[in-house]
Structure 1
Amino acid sequence: MNIIMALFPLVFLIGMGYVFKQTGFLQEAFWANSEKLNYYILFPALLFSNLSSVKLDLGSVVMLYIALGILIILISLLLWGLKFYFHIPVLRFGVYIQSQIRFNTYIGLSLMSLMFGTTGMQLFSMIIAVAIPLVNIISVCSFTQSAQGQLRFTLMSIVKNPLITACLFGIIFNCSGLLMPEGISQLLKLLASSSLPLGLISVGAALQFSQLKPDFGRVMLNSVSRLLGVPILAYFVAQSFSLAPLHIAILVVFFALPTASASYILTRFFNGDSQLMAAIISLQTLLFALTFPLLMGLLF
């Protein structure tokens, strides 16, 4: 599928959410409630549905997992090195870590569906089943200067994360060999079909372009690094592992995604630089519509 055409419905829905929020078309209470519904019910239903029905062949994706883990850890270590070299404050460093390793799952799954169909969505679901716990642990660690209380908070946040739970139960059900009753299967599909459009509209509503002015140069450098530098690095690492063409494409798309809107929530929880985080989320999401077609044309 043409990349521009694949991006069009995503950009339209994100833009719709932004317009709805700015014009007050929907009341403020709607956004918090819709995000809660999607985070705890609709999106977990989508992940469970994908992972419970995929034909699990871990042997075929083990190298993909290794490449994924190496890239996330390599990027994190590089940023930690820059932190000590430039004496970056912890409350800003946590923002920089999240901006480079966290990913927008709504945009990712929507793209996988449009570009690679059901196979792409299922492979992406298998990737995020591993990536979500890993990037959450690293993100929490980046905001903390001591180990006291860190491990307990990190473990509890992972255990209580409905996306991780949905992935885990989806894989367990898949491995059990049980058959999903048709009524439940159809219910899950109906719930799942609502998740991505609502998620993309919520992404648009969360954009805050007013935060860009104070740190525009720094935010632009950060965004270009994430949206072009990181996926190009992922491409060459994937090539060195001799991954299958589809796996290479999916890994590159994964690392080409803008950072997650939820990064703002974690930043505020740790009293980090939430204005900088909001600016980065907004600019990365906006630039993604430009950098992604460029990246795909350059690499594929």
Structure 2
Amino acid sequence: MFEIVLQTVSITAPVFAMLFLGVVLKRLRWIDDNFIGTASELVFRGTMPTLLFLGIVNADMSQAFKPGLIIYFVLATLVTFAVAWGWAVLRCPEIERGIYTQGAFRGNNGVVGLALATSMYGDYGLAIGSVLAGVVIFCYNILSVLVLAIYSPGAKTDPGTLCKSILTNPLIIGVALAVPFAYWQIELPQWLLASAEYFAHMTLPLALICIGGTLSLASMRQSSDIAIGSSMMKLVWLPLLATLGAWLAGFRDADLAVLFLYFASPTAAASYVMARAANGNHELAAAIIVITTLGSVVSINIGLLILQALGWI
């Protein structure tokens, strides 16, 4: 278990390093609000859709393709989304509900979840994690666009406008374009894949630097209650609900552990990019990412210890 603790820290530490770098660069005035706005737009419209496209195209869909696991994961994602949204309606100001909901249900599965699944279960964890990541990317982005569009300042919430927001979202377009290439195993030129990977590799550091540049003690204090509430929902209550449901559904051992890791992962950096693109409270989104990334080092390891003690994994 000590190895898993070290693995969790080794995955989350670089995230914090890039966040801190963003804070430092903003203090040194090497970056400013104009840079952050432009870079966030580049991530949202360019590098992140490319990263999602490559993630699905490169995933091995033939290994560990388990329809029951995928169906449960999708249903559990919908349930956790509904629980987070319902709680936001009861406890949050209307303008913050979209940010709270996205922060509470959207996990960093492509970085933290997949890395931990691979660390624990090797190629099997990588195969299952890749398939689930491809599925959840589509679910996360559709649900995030939906809830952010409803609560964005001045947004129109008629069905036509919401459908247009979903269909024109660059992240969803990136996923949709990748599906036929992955399904029919269409090979792309190697030079094109290499160029796309160079471009996509900018996503996480650039997004995290922007988040760090956005953070301030004043904004953290102002949004502390909502940020902490969303973070507790992300790290404790929703993983508990989803993991217990998975156990009741009959999942055990590696399958149950991977499901837990995916639901217990900290809030994804994409939530900040989406919040900023939707003209939402991106400072609140940034605070939730920071809190959940730090808290996940503790919550994930406690969760794994409990699952092992119960003999479920």
Q: TM-score band (shorter)?
A: 0.7 to 0.9
RMSD of Structure 2 on Structure 1 (CA): 3.4
Q: By how many angstroms is 1:289 displaced?
A: 4.7
2:48 and 2:88 mapped to 1: Cα distance?
34
- Partners of 1:27 and 1:137 lie apart in 2 by 30
Alpha carbons of structure 1 residues 9 and 297: separation in structure 2 relative to 1, 3 Å:
farther
Instruction: Name the residue aligned to 2:198.
Output: 190
Distance between the aligned counterparts of 1:220 and 1:20, measured in 2? 26
Q: Give the superposition deviation at 1:170.
A: 0.9
TM-score relative to the length of structure 2: 0.75
Q: Greater shift after overlay, 159-168 or 280-289? A: 280-289
Report percent identity of matched pairs: 20
What residue is the counterpart of 1:91 in the other structure?
Answer: 95
Distance, in Å, in 2 between the alignment partners of 1:39 and 1:91 is: 22
| Correspondence for 2:209 | 201
Q: Structure 1 residues 70 and 178 mapped into 2: Cα distance closer, same or farther (>3 Å)? A: closer
Structure 1 portions without partners, runs of 5+: none
Q: TM-score, normalised by structure 1?
A: 0.78
Paired position in structure 2 for 1:153: 161
Q: Quick one: structure 1 residues 7 and 81, their matched pair in 2 at CA, closer, same or farther if it must change by over 3 Å?
A: closer
Match in the other structure for 1:251: 259
Deviation at 1:172, TM superposition (A): 0.9
Residues 279 and 43 (structure 1), Cα distance of their counterparts in 2 relative to 1, 3 Å cut: closer
Superimposed CA distance per residue, residues 203-241 of structure 1 (whole angstroms, 9 cap, x where no aligned partner):
323334412434644543332222121112222222233
Give yes or no for contact 2:110–2:133 (8 Å, CA) kept in 1. yes
One-letter amino acid matched to 1:45: T
CA deviations over 1:12-62 (Å, ceiling 9, x no partner): 122222222233232433222222222222222222122123232498243
Does the CA-based 8 Å contact 1:75-1:101 persist in structure 2? Answer: yes
Offset at residue 128 of structure 1 (A): 1.0
Deviation digits for residues 245-275 of structure 1, max 9, x if unmatched? 5543443333332262145436745xxx777
- Contact 1:51–1:170 under 8 Å retained in 2: yes
Q: Which residue of 2 aligns with 1:222?
A: 230
Cα distance per residue 1:276-300 (max 9 Å; x no partner): 6665455445544544444444445
Taking the aligned partners of 1:78 and 1:138, their CA distance within structure 2 comes to: 13
Does the C-alpha gap of structure 1 residues 298 and 267 become closer, same or farther in structure 2, counting only changes over 3 Å?
A: farther
Q: Distance in 2 between matches of 1:6 and 1:38?
A: 21
Determine if contact 2:74/2:136 at 8 Å carries over to the other structure: no
Residue deviations 1:166-200, cap 9 Å, x none? 11111111223422212112222222233222233
Asked whether 1:101 is paired with 2:102, we answer no
Identify the range of structure 1 (166-175 vs 130-139) with the bigger mean alpha-carbon deviation. Answer: 130-139
Look up the equivalent residue of 1:213 and give its one-letter code: R
**Bigger mean CA deviation after superposition, 38-47 or 54-63:** 54-63
Greater displacement, 89-98 / 48-57:
89-98
Q: Which runs of 5+ in 2 are unaligned?
A: 120-125, 309-313
